Amino acid sequence: MSRVLSTAAPASVLPSVRSAVGTRCWARPAILLVWLCGLLGGGLPSQPAVVQADIWYVDNETGQDTNSGRTETVGPLAAGPFRTISRALAAAHQGDTIVLAKNETPYRETITLAGRRNSGFDGQPFRIIGNGATLSGTQEILPEQWRFVQDSIYECRPADAAYQQVYLGARPATFQSLSRERLSELEPLAWTLIDGRLYFRTDNDNLPSAYNLHYAKLQTGVTLYHVTGASIENLIVQGFWQDGINAHDNVRETKLIGVTARGNGRSGVSVGGSSRLDVVSSLVGDNHWHQVRAEGVAQLRLLGSNVLENGQSEAQYQQDQGRISEEIPVVNTPIHDRIPARPIRQASPPTPIPARHSRWSDTDTILR
């Protein structure tokens, strides 16, 4: 499954090449082509080498980070998927594909795509294919974390409270914007945030432990930084206290395709610096403050995507000097439910993507 060079060379030449460029550069075909052509005394070959990208598999229920990550199912000799997306990112190289198994258990981690290693090349994007899996930043609020305040109102103090989101079961709980002087107006099963503390009111004289309550523990689901030609597809990102997905700076030719960003603290999707990000056939909603935001000189294009304006801020599309535009997709990378056995570096003709319609009402919530 490793990268290979299709241009052949005499066996007597190969040892000297390995010793000169090292085993790490041995996987880099562009360097090898120049080196081999110099040793063989010829120019560049008429037919360019074809480099095959690798596929890495992740399963947070059956996988282990000590596995090879090369197969979807567990087998002998450490065959099987990784357990975490972070482990797959550490193993992957430019133009590779990471495939996630969709399980009932969310992937509870933060991931970062950064630099050339997590970028695409020559028509072959660096892809994360979610298959509908969920990346979650929530953590259960334990009974001992609550302190009684008054009249069925309890408080707890999360580690990070610049922005927050509280989940009651599988969806965000009702939020009320209150001052400390008006705390008694908090409705049953609603929450508020005052001076870095979460307040929740129970009903029927219950304790908070009677409810399945979670808060946003992790900061950002997916961070993109100095990447070109990346693609994140068919992934649900929810429950992070800052952003679901953040293109921090210098992100180019990168797409979110069929992604759902919901129930995060500050925003669902944020772009900053000089980033350029396309959100294609995706769904963004139920984020606590903003839905999408752009700052600096960043540009965010919404291509056939649904944005539900149901956050707390008046500016659901926050443009802090950045630019947000809504367009109909014309030519984009298609969403693949199944991927080829091994994607290759050669580009395929572009295929138009149909607009993805939400099965939820724009006036309703996307978390049911």
Region label for 131, one of left (φ > 0), alpha (ψ between -120 and 50) or beta (otherwise): left
Flag whether pLDDT at 351 surpasses 70: no
What CA–CA distance (Å, rounded) separates 102 from 259? 14
In a domain, 170, yes or no: yes
What is residue 9's predicted lDDT score, i.e. its pLDDT?
42
- How many domains does the chain contain in total? 3
- Coil vs helix vs strand at 190: strand
Which residue segment(s) compose the domain that 29 sits in? Answer: 1-51
Statement: the pTM of the whole predicted model exceeds 0.75: yes
* The two structure tokens encoding residue 217: 């523990």
Alpha-carbon gap, residue 272 to 276, rounded angstroms:
9
**Residue 1 maps to a domain:** yes
Q: Is the pLDDT of residue 232 over 90?
A: yes
Are 190 and 238 in a shared domain? no
Among residues 160, 185, 215, the one where a domain terminates is 215
Among 16-20, 143-147, 210-214, 267-271, the minimum mean pLDDT is found in 16-20
**Average pLDDT in the 19-39 region?**
42
Q: What is the CATH number of the domain that holds 275?
A: 2.160.20.10
Residue-wise pLDDT for 165-183, tens only, equals 999 998 999 999 999 999 9
Instruction: Mark whether 231 and 124 lie in a shared domain.
Output: yes
Same domain, 222 and 319: yes
Q: What is the pLDDT of residue 152?
A: 95
Residues 37, 144 within the same domain: no
Each residue's pLDDT tens digit, 51-83: 678 999 999 999 999 999 999 999 888 899 999
Element (H, E) at 307: strand 306-307
How confident is residue 19, by pLDDT bands cut at 50, 70 and 90? very low
146/46 same-domain check: no
Q: Could you tell me the two tokens for 186?
A: 């908090």
Q: Is the same domain home to 124 and 154?
A: no
Q: What is the pLDDT of residue 27?
A: 42
Q: Decide: 240 and 261 in contact? Cβ < 8 Å.
A: no
Q: Which residue has the tokens 């809504």?
A: 326
354 assigned to some structural domain: no
Does residue 284 lie in a domain region? yes
**Share of residues in the chain with pLDDT > 70 (%):** 75
Same domain, yes or no, for 302 and 226?
yes
Under DSSP, the state recorded for 256 is E
Average pLDDT, the chain: 81
Mean of pLDDT values over 229-235: 97
Position 50 scores a pLDDT of: 56
Lowest mean pLDDT among 31-45, 103-117, 222-236, 312-326: 31-45
Q: What's the pLDDT score for residue 329?
A: 54
Cα–Cα dist 61/101, whole Å: 9
Q: Is residue 335 part of a domain?
A: no
Compute the distance between CA of residue 62 and CA of residue 60 in angstroms, rounded to an integer. 6
Whether 151 and 297 share a structural domain:
no
Residue 100 included in any domain: yes
121 & 256 share domain = yes
φ, ψ (nearest 5 deg) of residue 177: -90, 110
Instruction: Give the integer Cα–Cα distance in Å for 298 and 213.
Output: 36
Which residue among 171, 186, 215 closes a domain? 215
Tell me which H or E stretch contains 238.
strand 236-238
Q: pLDDT digits over 289-313, tens only?
A: 999 999 989 999 999 999 988 888 7
**Residues with Cβ within 8 Å of residue 112, at least 6 apart in sequence:** 89, 222, 223, 224, 225
Residues 243 and 288 placed together within one structural domain of the fold: yes
Q: What is the pLDDT of residue 139?
A: 95
pLDDT range class, residue 317, cuts 50, 70, 90: confident
Question: Do 36 and 70 lie in a common domain?
Answer: no
In this structure, the answer to whether residues 68 and 15 fall within a common structural domain is no
The answer to whether residue 355 sits within a structural domain is no
The pLDDT-based confidence of 366 (bands split at 50, 70, 90) is low
Residue 15: inside a domain, yes or no? yes
Q: State which of 181, 215, 249 marks the end of a domain.
A: 215
